[in-house]
């Protein structure tokens, strides 16, 4: 139990998660504001994630960046926090330019503001696939460019991709190889 507060740290973390999942961000903001000044509590990952979500919701991107850059987060929280980081930078860039960003504009923003290591494992992604996944697919392709549905499922499990992504990767690769052969 936290002194003079009535909730344990685990209960506070649970309330933060429930309010986030329910999309009740104003209430979450009020709840965070009501927390006692306790370092142990404010360094809790669920509390930090909730603070980041509220900062984004309120358009306080400077606070969002500070939270994300100064605390190490667990890999299971990375996708959500990466999404906040990128969306915030996109919104700021759109305000500066006075128009929505296209694919190239978003690419430039991602290059200018790379994800901090606190919310990213450091492995480059290309076309949204990790280099490791692409390596597995390329290796398989050299032996068999036409995997069976069962093999595609196994490849999907091995790479962390969906079966559809694996199927599309092979289809696109075969198409590119045919186009390259036609040019020669």
Query: What is the DSSP annotation of 85-151?
Result: HHHHHHHHHHHHHTS---HHHHHHHHHHSPPPGGG--S--EETTEEHHHHHHHHHHHHH-SS--HHH
- The answer for 146, left when phi > 0, alpha when psi is -120 to 50, beta otherwise, is beta
Q: Please answer whether residues 60 and 45 qualify as being in contact, where contact means their C-beta atoms are separated by less than 8 angstroms.
A: no
Mean pLDDT by 10 residues, the chain (184 residues): 73 96 95 91 95 98 98 95 97 97 92 94 70 92 96 94 94 93 83
pLDDT value of residue 7:
86
pTM for the structure as a whole: 0.68
Long-range contacts of 92-96 (CB under 8 A, 24+ apart): 92/61
DSSP code for 1 = -
Contacts of 142 (CB under 8 A, 6+ apart): none
pLDDT value of residue 102:
92
DSSP code for 72 = -
């Amino acid at each position: 139990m936290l002194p003079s507060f009535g909730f344990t740290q685990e209960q506070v973390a649970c309330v933060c998660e429930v309010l986030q999942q329910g999309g009740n961000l104003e209430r979450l903001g009020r709840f965070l504001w009501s927390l006692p000044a306790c370092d142990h509590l404010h360094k809790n990952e669920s509390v930090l994630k909730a603070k980041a979500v509220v900062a984004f919701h309120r358009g306080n991107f400077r606070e969002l960046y500070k939270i994300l850059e100064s605390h190490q987060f667990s890999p299971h929280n990375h996708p959500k926090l990466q999404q906040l980081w990128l969306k915030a930078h996109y919104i700021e860039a759109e305000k500066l330019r006075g128009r929505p960003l296209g694919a190239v504009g978003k690419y430039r923003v991602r290059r200018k503001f790379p994800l901090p290591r606190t919310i990213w494992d450091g492995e480059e992604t290309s076309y949204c696939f990790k280099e490791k996944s692409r390596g597995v697919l390329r290796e398989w392709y050299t032996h068999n460019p036409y995997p069976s549905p069962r093999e595609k499922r196994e490849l999907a499990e091995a790479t962390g991709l969906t079966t559809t992504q694996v199927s599309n990767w092979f289809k696109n690769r075969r198409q590119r190889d045919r186009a390259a052969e036609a040019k020669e």
